[in-house]
């Protein structure tokens, strides 16, 4: 029977262990590259889905705003007739009321500016 010297077994074992560690290290590098690729692809998919959701929300917001404008327009048009009748029946009072309201708004807007100059 042939016996292998103990120092040779250790060297062969160490070489085998080094080969295995090297293979494990290269496998870990490949796994890291694969995981980075997956993370990048997942980020792209998430960004696409988020863009779709935002587009849908924007469309819904535009539709809601359109409905609100339509309702406001119909309400305004429905309530303008009494105002028109009042202006036609008392034009001088309507003009004076408008001038007074303009003067009041002007005084309110210019009032704080004049006060801060002192």
DSSP codes joined into one string, 18-84: HHHHHHHHHHHHHHHHHHHHHHHHHHHHHHHHHHHHHHHHHHHHHHHHHHHHHHHHHHHHHHHHHHH
User: What confidence category does residue 98 fall into, taking pLDDT thresholds of 50, 70 and 90?
Assistant: very high
Residue 85: is it exposed, middle or buried by C-beta count within 10 angstroms (0-12/13-18/19+)? exposed
Give the number of domains in the chain. Answer: 1
Task: Output the pLDDT for position 117.
Answer: 53
Which distant-in-sequence residues (6+ apart) come within 8 Å of 86 by Cβ? 94
Q: Is residue 67 part of a domain?
A: yes
Task: Find the domain containing 19 and state its range.
Answer: 7-83
Q: Is residue 107 part of a domain?
A: no
pTM of this structure: 0.39
List, for residues 74-89, the tens digit of each pLDDT value.
Answer: 888 878 888 888 889 9
List, for residues 37-85, the tens digit of each pLDDT value.
Answer: 888 888 888 888 888 888 888 889 999 999 999 898 888 887 888 888 8
What sign does the dihedral 21-27-30-31 (CA atoms) show?
negative
Share above pLDDT 70 across residues of the chain, in percent, rounded to a whole number: 84
Q: Is residue 31 part of a domain?
A: yes
């Amino acid at each position: 029977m042939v016996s292998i010297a103990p120092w040779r077994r250790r060297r062969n074992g160490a070489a085998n262990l080094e080969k295995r560690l090297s293979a494990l290290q290269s496998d870990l590098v490949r796994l890291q590259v694969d995981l980075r690729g997956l993370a990048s692809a997942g980020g792209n998919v998430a960004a696409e889905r988020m863009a779709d959701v935002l587009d849908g929300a924007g469309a819904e917001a535009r539709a809601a705003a359109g409905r609100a404008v339509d309702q406001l327009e119909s309400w305004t048009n429905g309530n303008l007739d009494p105002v028109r009748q009042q202006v036609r029946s008392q034009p001088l009072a309507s003009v004076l009321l408008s001038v007074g309201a303009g003067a009041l708004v002007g005084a309110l807007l210019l009032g704080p500016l004049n006060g801060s100059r002192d």
